[in-house]
Chain A
Amino acid sequence: MFSSKASLSSPPSAGHLPPPPPPMSTLCIQFCDPSTMARVFPQAWLNEKFAPDLLETKQDVVDNMMLHLQNMDENLHQGHVGEPKSTIHQLELERLRFVLTSYLRSRLRKIEAYFPHLLEQQRSQTGEDLLRLSPDEYIFAEEYANNISLYFRRVALRHMPTAQQKLDLSKTVAPPDIERFVFLQVKDRQERVLIEEATDDQEEYVIDLEENSKHLMRYKAIAPLVSNGAVQLI
Chain B
Amino acid sequence: MFCEKAVDLLRELQRASDGLLTPYNEDGVRQVLGELRALYIPNQQDANISRAEERSDLLPTIKFRHCCLLRNKRCLLAYLYDRLMRIKALRWELGSVLPNALRFHLAPDELEWFNQYGRSLAKYMHSIGSEGLDLVQDTLPPKSLFIEVRCLQDYGKFEVDGLNVPAEPQYAAFTAEG
> Footprint of B on A, CB under 8 Å?
62-63, 66-67, 70, 81-82, 87, 90-91, 94-95, 97-98, 100-102, 104-105, 108, 112, 136-137, 139-140, 143-144, 147-148, 151-152, 154-156, 159-161, 163-164, 167, 172
Do the beta carbons of A98 and B138 come within 8 Å of each other?
A: yes
Known: A66-B133, A152-B77, A156-B80. Contact between A94 and B176, CB under 8 A?
A: yes
Q: Does B5 contact A (CB under 8 A)?
A: no
Chain B binding surface, main DSSP class: helix
Name the prevailing secondary structure of the A interface residues: helix
Interface hub of B33, B120, B123 (most chain A Cβ within 10 A): B120
| B140: A residues at CB distance < 8 A | 98
Chain B's interface size range is 35 or more
A155, B80: Cβ atoms closer than 8 Å: yes
The residue in chain B whose Cβ has the minimal distance to the Cβ of A63 is B129
A-B pairs, top 9 by smallest CB distance, nearest first, are A66-B129, A161-B40, A94-B142, A136-B127, A143-B120, A140-B124, A159-B33, A91-B145, A98-B138
- Give the most central of B81, B88, B123, B145: most A CB within 10 Å: B145
- Give Cα distance in the complex from A140 to B88, angstroms: 14
Q: How far is the CA of A85 from the CA of B71 in the complex (A)?
A: 63
How far is A18 from B61 in the complex, measured between Cα atoms in Å? Answer: 76
Chain B residues with CB under 8 Å of A155's CB are 29, 80, 107, 109
Pairwise interchain contact B130-A66, C-beta atoms closer than 8 A: yes
